[in-house]
């Protein structure tokens, strides 16, 4: 497989960075091609703006998604966006590797999604969910957080992790067509022993060794809905 890891952590010595390096090592040894976008190291710009288009469909009013559609069709996307799109298109597996900030991605990684997942290539018209532009490809989250695992769950203080991840796993990755593999989650990282962290790297190696056998998470498919996206009656 061709694999793209998109990594966003402000500290190069972080455990999140070690997870990224572990993935590179394991996946290369398994014979895969691995590419990395290290967003902090690249100084990637996360702010969607008019400057993302070298020529405009409508120069007087910025509808960002419509300009994405125009720009992807006419090849007038900013170079940094075009470069990232080509990496994503080449990759059979996309791994987003990050520290959880506010039950979501750091803004730098969120902005990579905002700017790179352009309308017209990743989705558009009826091309979304299982018909999205990335259909046939896989994606996976690998993230660290301070909370303990018992703080997440239906009756736990923060609620179920699968619900917290809905905007990313369902609303973003599945929306553009990816089969979303179960995430690798490293809990309570700043507060545990070095031994416990090393065990997490061992666990992540195991997760990655098994990656071609992981069952994707199930989400809705377009076939369950009518032309106007009302649910079809069951049975």
Instruction: Among 98, 129, 143, 184, indicate the residue that binds its own copies (CB under 8 A).
Output: 129
Return d(Cα 82, Cα 64) in angstroms, integer: 16
Instruction: Among 31, 79, 102, 215, indicate the residue that binds its own copies (CB under 8 A).
Output: 102
Find the farthest-apart pair of alpha carbons in the chain and give their distance in angstroms, rounded. Answer: 58
Instruction: Based on the shown chain and the rule CB under 8 A, indicate whether residue 159 belongs to the binding site for its own copies.
Output: yes
Asked if residues 8 and 45 have their Cβ atoms less than 8 Å apart, the reply is no
- DSSP-derived letter for residue 123 is B
Instruction: Among 5, 95, 113, 186, indicate the residue that binds its own copies (CB under 8 A).
Output: 113
Instruction: Based on the shown chain and the rule CB under 8 A, indicate whether residue 126 belongs to the binding site for its own copies.
Output: no
- The sign one gets for the Cα dihedral 70, 76, 77, 82 is positive
Q: Beta strands 184-186 and 179-180: pairing type?
A: unpaired
Tell me how far, at minimum, the Cβ of 177 lies from its own copies, in Å.
14
Scan residues 183-202 and list those touching its own copies (CB under 8 A). Answer: 190
Scan residues 26-45 and list those touching its own copies (CB under 8 A). Answer: 40
Instruction: Among 136, 171, 209, 212, indicate the residue that binds its own copies (CB under 8 A).
Output: 171
Return d(Cα 8, Cα 197) in angstroms, integer: 19
Return d(Cα 42, Cα 124) in angstroms, integer: 29
Scan residues 44-73 and list those touching its own copies (CB under 8 A). Answer: 46-50, 61-66
DSSP bridge partners of 130: none
State both tokens at 88: 């994503």
- Positions that interact with its own copies (CB under 8 A): 10-11, 13-14, 40, 46-50, 61-66, 99, 101-108, 110-111, 113-114, 117, 129, 146, 148, 150-151, 155-159, 163-164, 166-168, 170-172, 175, 190, 220, 222, 224-225, 228-231
């Amino acid at each position: 497989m061709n694999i793209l890891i998109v990594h966003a952590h402000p500290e190069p010595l972080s455990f999140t960075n070690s997870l990224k390096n572990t993935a590179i090592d394991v996946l290369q040894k398994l014979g895969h091609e691995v590419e990395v976008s290290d967003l902090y190291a690249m100084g990637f710009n996360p702010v969607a703006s008019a400057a993302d288009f070298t020529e405009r469909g409508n120069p007087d009013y910025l509808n960002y998604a419509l300009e994405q559609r125009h720009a992807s069709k006419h090849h007038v996307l900013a170079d940094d966006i075009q470069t990232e799109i080509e990496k994503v298109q080449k990759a059979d597996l996309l791994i987003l590797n990050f520290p959880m900030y506010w039950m979501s991605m750091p803004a730098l990684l969120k902005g990579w999604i905002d700017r790179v997942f352009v309308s017209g290539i990743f989705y558009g018209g009826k091309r979304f969910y299982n018909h999205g532009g990335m259909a046939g490809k896989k994606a996976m989250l690998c993230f660290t957080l301070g909370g303990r695992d018992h703080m997440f769950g239906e009756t736990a203080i923060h609620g179920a992790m699968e619900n917290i991840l809905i905007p990313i796993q369902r609303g973003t990755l599945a929306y553009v067509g990816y089969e979303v593999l179960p995430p690798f989650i490293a809990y309570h990282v700043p507060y545990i022993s070095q031994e416990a962290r090393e065990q997490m790297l061992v666990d992540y190696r195991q997760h990655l060794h098994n990656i071609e056998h992981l069952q994707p998470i199930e989400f809705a498919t377009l076939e369950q809905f009518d032309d106007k996206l009302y649910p079809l009656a069951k049975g």
